[in-house]
Structure 1
């Protein structure tokens, strides 16, 4: 009973905290990166390098804000929702930019974006019942996507030769496979949740209504 009282006394972390601020900054950096990438127009100039470095730094903050949130007890439902959305906006901007520059087939970008947008919409639909954080498979997918996109953004072929394109292709293919597989996994989980009947409240001799706390 004492432990229950101590847990109840713990204040709920505010949505206005450092991890969520870092996540919002990552979202705001996406259009800046996108403009820098397109302005360079595939010339592999300093803007291309700057755009690539900005993407890498922005996507790297995903691990930083998560570590801060967990270590300082600042995990919030808003953060669980915004964190994967920020990653999707940033990676989506990179994929669309690479396709506009004809450096990535449009069908690859479309497949990935359809999966990402679909899962994001599903998360919003589920908000009335629960907040669905990124799964372990989803986090691995994001990591591989980040590596693949970073390699595609960095103008290494102009310095090291065309063989780098093969390396980029392998990582992008792996990212595409993980994107599709984890998307199917989310759909399977959703189907199982919809089939699971809601838990029934145990019978009680008291006529008082059940507590709203779960």
Structure 2
């Protein structure tokens, strides 16, 4: 079974714990606000994602592919350090998810293959560049996903087989962030997780 998780556009709002020296005003005719992005922060996020799933059975072959799509929301915590205009940091993100999709089984008539993802997490390192209140970052690291699989009869909805697992892979992403108030920022982020190919044991489940 192969899965590539695409966590697309996510809106982020976060607040940072910074010192008083983090905000500096230049002595210019028009005061310019300069932000230091260093310090611990917590935040919330929400967005949309899609996971591409392809099913195979040993000695049977390919059963088809589908995309499991849906919404996601939760939070993150991290610590960046700014040196001149460069920003380096670590971030941990845990998300509730509601990604679901299915396809007609190519080997067995009247059977549907369904997958669901109900949570995922990212632990990444970050490298960025800051222009005053604007921060652009690239990120990369590890990803974990909670997967559930179900094979069911399309006419009756009766579950035939099911399986589940927690999968681990890698992730990359990019973000654009704006500081709109002291210690507050909002941004947009795109993440792409590579979950590879795995074998999953299914269990016969002859009921709803």
Structure (1/2) with the larger strand percentage? 2
Question: TM-score surpassing 0.5?
Answer: no
Normalising to structure 2: TM-score of the pair?
Answer: 0.24
Normalising to structure 1: TM-score of the pair?
Answer: 0.23
Structure (1/2) with the larger helix percentage? 1
